[in-house]
Amino acid sequence: MTDAIDFAALTRRAVANVAARTTDQAEGTMALPVEAYFEPERYRREVEHIFHRLPLAVALSLEIAAPGSYVARTIMGVPVLLARAEDGVVRAFINVCRHRGAPVCEPGAGSRKRFLCPYHAWSYDLTGALDNVYGETTFGEIDRSALSLTPLACAERAGLIWISLKPGATFDIDQWLGDFVGQLEALDLDNWHIYERREIDGPGWKVAWDGYLEGYHQSALHPNTVGKNTIGNMMLVDAYGPHQRIVFGRKTLAGLVGKPESEWDMTGHIRLIHSAFPNLSISGVLGDHALVSQLYPGPTPDRSLTVQTMLCREKPTTEAQAAANRLFSAMVLEAVAEEDYAVGFKIQDGLASGGNREFVFGRNEPTLQHYHQWVARFSAG
Ligand code: FES
Ligand SMILES: [Fe+2]
């Protein structure tokens, strides 16, 4: 990790919170009408204005590291193709043929020199250019240069590939990330190893996402998984525009209270979560492992899809390392699917019951206040 993250300062702040039995707080509580979680028109507007316009980190650079590699996947109903051409640049396209719309690449990842449409064998190179029209002399005159794969705005920063899902939409990734880019770069995501990737169905995206932003529920909901070694209801938060960096403390942090700083281990007692608006969370749950989560709204307001990618520092070479990876993977799955999303589905089912007209976010949930304020701001635009 680079100097962008000042571990000593964070550890100092965390120790101060622990000593005072407090947490970083907002100025007051905040209420949000429950319709924000299920009302169809609002959902439609938020998906359009937030998820289809803003840059989303849809893949890790690691997934598509070598020239010639590609990833094809459907993201929120949009068939997306990412390809790294020989020039080393990653480009994003809509994965539909410009002739009559067949996908030019089946879902998955791999490496190839061109994409050959299975329907009538038009082919495209890795920059999206139409490079061959089968039976061209019989087809009639066409302007090949106007029939490249439809591009999507795409940028690569901090080991992540950011795209906009809407053809024609543009973004300036440096402006969008601002100082947060240094925080993300400090995670050195290019130099980890992917050992597992999976998709998890969840409740509505806000119900699910709320759980990624606060530590208030750690002790109650996760006593035997991610909350086991974490101090509940204590966090540090720093905002970078709409993005947030959260710090949780391991229970060992209490042992530093009253000890001279010269004896502190500055990296061993805290864990960081980098939360990029609107749906990316990178969590360093344990030192040798990290979890990257991307949470997408589902086809209806009450469902979401989470992509989990588990990273380890090094490619496992021993059975002990492989076992540690399996343990981490199982713990994360249990915490998210059987704890967070299990309660989330129940919350979702009760939303329209009239039991609540609004939800209240505590002073100790400043991250949720921040997030929902930014959702309101972007969805109004
Ligand atoms: S649809 Fe692709 S070549 Fe016809
Ligand atoms: Fe949780």
Residue 2: pLDDT over 70:
no
CA-nearest residue for atom 3, ligand 1, is 120
Distance, in Å, from the CA atom of 329 to the CA atom of 151, rounded to the nearest integer, reads 35
Which sign, positive or negative, has the C-alpha torsion 169, 175, 177, 181? Answer: positive
Domain ranges of the chain: 7-53+179-380, 56-170
68: DSSP letter:
T
pLDDT at 40: 96
* CA 68 centroid distance within chain: 25
H helices, E strands: number in the chain:
10, 20
Q: Residue 287 has what pLDDT?
A: 76
Q: Are 231 and 250 in contact (CB under 8 A)?
A: yes
Q: Give CA torsion, residues 298, 299, 302, 306, to 10 deg.
A: -10
Q: Which ligand is located closest to the Cα atom of residue 340?
A: 2
For residue 373, how many other CB atoms are within 10 A of its CB? 13
- Shortest-distance ligand to the CA of residue 119: 1
pLDDT band at 286 (very low <50, low <70, confident <90, very high): low
Pocket test for ligand 1, best of 98, 114, 117 (most atoms within 8 A of CB): 117
**Overall average pLDDT of the 277-282 stretch:** 98
Q: Looking at the predicted structure, is the pLDDT value of residue 148 above 60?
A: yes
Q: How many CA atoms lie within 13 A of 217 on its CB side?
A: 17
Give the mean model confidence (pLDDT) for residues 194-211. 97
Q: Is the pLDDT of residue 312 over 70?
A: yes
Q: Is the pLDDT of residue 381 over 70?
A: no
Sheet strand arrangement including 160-163: 56-60, 160-163, 154-157
Q: Calculate how far, in angstroms, residue 87's C-alpha sits from the geometric centre of ligand 1.
A: 26
Are both 7-53+179-380 and 56-170 of the same fold?
A: no
Mean pLDDT along residues 257-266: 92
Which residues, listed in sequence order, are joined to residue 151 by a DSSP beta bridge?
A: 93
The residue nearest atom 1 of ligand 1, judged by CA position, is: 100
What's the confidence (pLDDT) of residue 249? 96
User: What pLDDT does residue 285 have?
Assistant: 60
**55: alpha, beta or left, given left = phi > 0 and alpha = psi -120 to 50?**
beta
Check pLDDT > 80 for residue 128. Answer: yes
Q: What is the DSSP string of 1-29?
A: --TTS-HHHHHHHHHHHHHTT-----SS-
The separation between CA 251 and the C-alpha centre of its own chain, rounded to angstroms, equals: 26
Mean pLDDT, to the nearest integer, of 4-16?
Answer: 94
* Percent of the chain whose pLDDT exceeds 90: 95
Could you tell me which residue, 288 or 212, shows the higher pLDDT? 212
For residue 230, what are the β-bridge partners?
A: 250
CATH class of 7-53+179-380: alpha beta
What pLDDT band is residue 39 in, cutting at 50, 70 and 90? very high
Q: Which atom of ligand 1 is nearest to the CA of 121?
A: 3
Q: Whose CA is nearest to atom 4 of ligand 1?
A: 120
What pLDDT digit, counting tens, does each position of 65-81 carry? 999 999 999 999 999 99
Four-residue CA torsion sign, 346, 349, 351, 353 = negative
**Residue 104 CA: which ligand 1 atom is closest?**
2
Centre of ligand 1 from the C-alpha of residue 100, in Å: 5
Q: What percent of the chain has pLDDT over 70?
A: 98
Measure CA of the first residue to CA of the last residue in the chain; give whole Å: 36
How many angstroms separate the CA atoms of 249 and 214, rounded? 13
Q: What's the 368 CA to ligand 2 centre distance in angstroms? A: 13
Question: pLDDT tens across 349-365, in order?
Answer: 999 899 999 999 999 99
Mean pLDDT, range 191-219, rounded to an integer: 97
Confidence of residue 284 (pLDDT cuts 50, 70, 90): confident
Position 374 pLDDT exceeds 70: yes
CATH number of 56-170: 2.102.10.10
The pLDDT of residue 267 is 86
**pLDDT for the residue numbered 6:** 92
Residue 214 phi, psi dihedral angles, 5° rounding: -135, 160
Instruction: Tell me what pLDDT residue 309 has.
Output: 97
3-state secondary structure 124-162: EECCCCEEECCCHHHHCCCCHHHCCCCEECEEEECCEEE
Give me 159's structure tokens: 């080991």
* Nearest to 292, CA basis, from 276, 306, 309: 309
DSSP-assigned states of every residue in 306-329: EEEEEEESS---SHHHHHHHHHHH
Atom index in ligand 1 nearest the CA of residue 101 equals 1
Residue 205: pLDDT band (50, 70, 90) is very high
Tokens of 168: 């024609």
pLDDT given at position 118: 98
| pLDDT, tens only, 82-124 | 999 999 999 999 999 999 999 999 999 999 999 999 999 999 9
CA atoms within 13 A on the CB side of 24: 22
| Mean pLDDT value across the chain | 96
Residue 100 alpha carbon, nearest atom of ligand 1: 1
225-252 pLDDT per residue, tens = 989 999 999 999 999 999 999 999 999 9
Yes or no: say if 150 and 98 are a contact pair by the CB < 8 Å rule.
yes
Structure confidence at residue 4 (pLDDT): 86
Closest-lying ligand to the alpha carbon of 216?
2
Single-letter amino acid code for the residue at 10: L
